[in-house]
Structure 1
Amino acid sequence: MKFKRAPLIAYLCLLPILLVLGIWQLNRAEEKRVLISLKQQRQSTEILVLSATMPDTPEAHLYKPIKAIGHYDNDHQYLLDNQVNKGRAGYFVLTPFLLKNENKAVLVNRGWLPLGKSRSGLPDIPVDSREITLNGRINHFPTVGLKLAGAEIPTDSWPAIVQVVDTHVLAKQLGYPLFSFQVELDKHADEGFTREWHETLAMTPEKHIGYAVQWFLLALTLTVLFVKYGINKKHD
């Protein structure tokens, strides 16, 4: 049995790629299953009381419900730019929440607001600075696909606009330390804006499996085509 050179080279190059892509999608499906299980487990756990002595390890507390006693810093708030909701551009409102009797704060994501008619007109985001008990859940800050140089530097005026959250940079501007995670304000809490915290993943495990099946079917199709057209049927 002899193989045609060009089809053989193409087959040997493409088949491993298709198989690797299929296996990668299966691995991603398993990662999503673990993430869903973790989220469900932690959201059903006992409410965590936020304090300055708590280890600042976001992964250990991700998705956990929390409560905190303290007050908002009404004078210093951030607008996280380039946040899209249902096709509209806008901001997430991040307000520092100072813990009672402790020199530490956490940024509370109070929700999404749309852009005004122009970027020069910033939204009005007042908040009561009296002592309250805050309820929410711990999560990472929103990320960007491509981080530009200086994106973590906020503007000088308040509310300050920032493209990417770096809590070390913001803490220097505020003058007090910040936790490295955000608290997403409870949907039923007062003084919030549009809060549609993502309860579902952008891509479910089932969709990853569907893509894996497609890659494996392409590998099978490639093999059938190679057998049909890549083998010399005449022997010298």
Structure 2
Amino acid sequence: MIALGVWQLQRKGEKEALLALYERNRAMSSLATYPELPPVPDELLFRKSSVVCLDPVRWDPRSGTDVKGRSGFRMIADCRTGAEGPGVLVDVGISDDFTPPAWTGGIVQGTVVPGPEQPTLVERLTGRAVAARPMLVADQPVAGLRQSAIPSGADVPNNHLAYAVQWFLFALAALTIYIFAVRRRLRQ
């Protein structure tokens, strides 16, 4: 348990470095090409980019918030970008219902963020995890929608210190129980 606490302290430092990288990325210039294929290197996340959506082939409404903090449904389009190859995910704005907008595609400028299709723990442990595709959160929403809140590195949780304290407390509790058990046995 102490080793797990120490490991969480190490992870805390690693996560702080990653969050600092995300903040530096936000200040960098736009990407020349959109990172279509996963996995997306951390150096490309939270940077500005643009992509041409020829045609939204599928809509995936998910819960989200707009730039003013109001709740709604993020309208995520899975866009066709060419005759072949993978499409791109584009968050085109926030709606009050599940109805997709009457948007037929076009040039979208925005911020590259991790896509919503994150692998589960079971998929990662069994080796069946597929890397998440990146998603572009549009700077300007399509007609009839509100602008989605653009995620930042600050939205990525860094709770490793709390986990470390938790493991150290577990170790202390186990030691206390052990001491009481030994003392009781010695009295007999």
So what's the TM-score if we normalise by structure 2?
Answer: 0.65
Q: For structure 2, which runs of at least 5 residues remain unmatched after alignment?
A: 66-70, 122-129
- The residue identity in structure 2 corresponding to 1:183 is L
Aligned length: 169
The 1:36/1:135 distance shift into structure 2, 3 A limit, reads same
Deviation at 1:218, TM superposition (A): 2.7
Deviation at 1:126, TM superposition (A): 1.5
Residues 113 and 194 of structure 1 are in contact (CA less than 8 Å); yes or no, is this contact kept in structure 2?
A: no
Matches within 5 A, 1:151-170: none
- Asked if residue 32 in structure 1 is aligned to residue 15 in structure 2, the reply is yes
Please list the CA deviations of residues 90-119 of structure 1 after superposition, one character each: whole Å capped at 9, or x if unmatched.
4532152748xx9876432213435x4xxx
Q: Which position in structure 2 is the counterpart of 1:183? A: 136
Q: Which position in structure 1 is the counterpart of 2:113? A: 139
- Asked if residue 227 in structure 1 is aligned to residue 185 in structure 2, the reply is no
Matches within 5 A, 1:1-236: 18-50=1-33, 56=37, 58-59=40-41, 60-68=43-51, 70=52, 72-73=54-55, 76-81=56-61, 83-85=62-64, 90=73, 92-94=75-77, 96=79, 98=81, 106-114=88-96, 116=97, 123-127=99-103, 129=105, 132=107, 134-144=108-118, 146=120, 180-186=133-139, 189-191=140-142, 193-199=146-152, 200-204=154-158, 207-231=159-183, 232-234=185-187
- The residue identity in structure 1 corresponding to 2:90 is V
- The residue identity in structure 2 corresponding to 1:229 is A
Q: For structure 1, which runs of at least 5 residues remain unmatched after alignment?
A: 1-17, 117-121, 148-164, 168-179
What is the rounded CA distance, in whole Å, between the counterparts of 1:113 and 1:202 in structure 2?
Answer: 24
CA RMSD of aligned residues (A): 3.9
Instruction: Specify the SS of the correspondent of 2:77.
Output: strand
- The residue identity in structure 2 corresponding to 1:136 is G
The 1:203/1:223 distance shift into structure 2, 3 A limit, reads same
Deviation at 1:26, TM superposition (A): 2.1
- The residue identity in structure 2 corresponding to 1:195 is S
The 1:208/1:183 distance shift into structure 2, 3 A limit, reads same
Instruction: Specify the SS of the correspondent of 1:37.
Output: helix
What is the rounded CA distance, in whole Å, between the counterparts of 1:166 and 1:218 in structure 2?
Answer: 34
Q: Point out which structure has higher relative CO (alpha carbons under 8 A, 6+ apart).
A: 1
Residues 95 and 109 of structure 1 are in contact (CA less than 8 Å); yes or no, is this contact kept in structure 2?
A: no
Percent identity over the alignment is 19
